[in-house]
Amino acid sequence: MFHCRASRHTDAPAVRGRDCPRRPAHVSCGHVLGYPLNVGIARSADAAGAGAGKRVLLAEPRGYCAGVDRAVETVERTLEKHGAPIYVRKEIVHNRHVVETLRERGVVFVDETDEVPEGSVVVFSAHGVSPAVHESAAARNLHTIDATCPLVTKVHQEAKRFARDDFDILLIGHEGHEEVEGTAGEAPDHVQLVDGPDAVDGVEVRDENKVIWLSQTTLSVDETMETVQRLRKRFPNLQDPPSDDICYATQNRQVAVKAMAPECDLVIVVGSRNSSNSKRLVEVALNAGARASYLVDFAREVDPAWFEGVTTVGVTSGASVPEILVRGVLDLLAEHGYGEVQPVTTANETLVFALPRELRTTGRR
């Protein structure tokens, strides 16, 4: 079912993942691809006449994950508590709309802590930071608030634990991604980056009996497993992490896309180009059978030429995308005759992460 959260900031621009109310006035139930559809959006008579046979399959779950919701609210609460300006190292999440909306409210985004005036408030992004970044902030007497996703923190803890046990840690991830830099920084002498299956042949370890793999949380599940299989061929005693490193939300969004993609002529993924999990959804859609798939930040980026010969359009969004952007795409599709929207529900997400301790109130844990 759709989950609506009451707005905690009545005057703030919409950057929430689940803008309320989401549910349309008219709903119906059905099934697509063998998956139960909890909510279907009934098309109007005008839409039915204008786009007979045309439909939208709407992935559920999509959009904000618990870690992104926590990170965005962390910045909003920090603004309320300390007033503008506050500083955020890197982008709080990888979404243009969210970043620009927060910037308009007085958030200053910086690349490094040395750009933050001494004694100021700085928030660390959802992707996590290395110990060196914490040390740099402390040296400048910065008031730090850590919005790192708890699932990323879990990977950091694993890296520290296995470094203490003197393992070679093979970190599967994308070079240059903030999350990878943060995790590798926890154990720089033990972590070796493996950027996909093609990088496996270049891996060297000290002791083939003390090797473990960890991963960035936002990767393609299939590509990660292919990388692990290749690593295991080289290192048969390769150990698995104690628990799955790929985020539950990343996996859930990929599963939903896999479910609907075989019936889609086109899949539109709403998300930013620097969002790893959003880009992976495009790849997953194509690999699962969609004829075409494109990544857009906003509805205005959708090219009407994409609709030529298209009957079924799939729509989803990355884990850092507020629902208002998906609504914009659905409105545009309706204008082009795609008035029937059938949600494809493969999981229901209810996880909520606690805010950083210094920002907690009776209103939220």
User: Binding site membership: which residues?
Assistant: 65, 94, 127, 149, 177, 217, 247, 275-277, 320
| Angle subtended at Cα 272 by Cα 21 and Cα 116, rounded to the nearest 5 degrees | 100
Backbone angles phi, psi at 107, to 5 degrees: -85, 135
Q: Distance between CA atoms of 133 and 113, rounded to whole angstroms?
A: 7
- DSSP letter string over 127-146? T---HHHHHHHHHTT-EEEE
Query: Do the Cβ atoms of 38 and 30 come closer than 8 Å?
Result: no
179: annotated active-site residue: yes
In the block, tokens 């699962």 appear at 288
Contact 328, 299 (CB under 8 A): yes
Identity of residue 267: V
Q: Is 328 helix (H, G, I), strand (E, B) or coil?
A: helix
Which residue is catalytic, options 60, 73, 179, 181? 179
* Nearest Cα to Cα of residue 110 among 90, 137, 84, 139: 90
Contact 22, 2 (CB under 8 A): yes
Residue 197 structure tokens: 């299956």
Polymer length in residues for the chain: 365
Q: Is 16 helix (H, G, I), strand (E, B) or coil?
A: coil
Of 52, 135, 57, 65, nearest in space to 93 by CA: 65
> Which residues are annotated binding-site positions for dimethylallyl diphosphate?
94, 127, 177, 275-277, 320
Q: How far apart are CA 188 and CA 236, in angstroms?
A: 24
Annotated binding site for isopentenyl diphosphate: 94, 127, 177, 275-277, 320
Binding site for [4Fe-4S] cluster: residue ranges?
A: 65, 149, 247
Name, in order, each residue with C-beta under 8 angstroms of 227's C-beta and a sequence gap of 6 or more.
Answer: 172, 194, 196, 197, 199, 200
User: What are the catalytic residues?
Assistant: 179
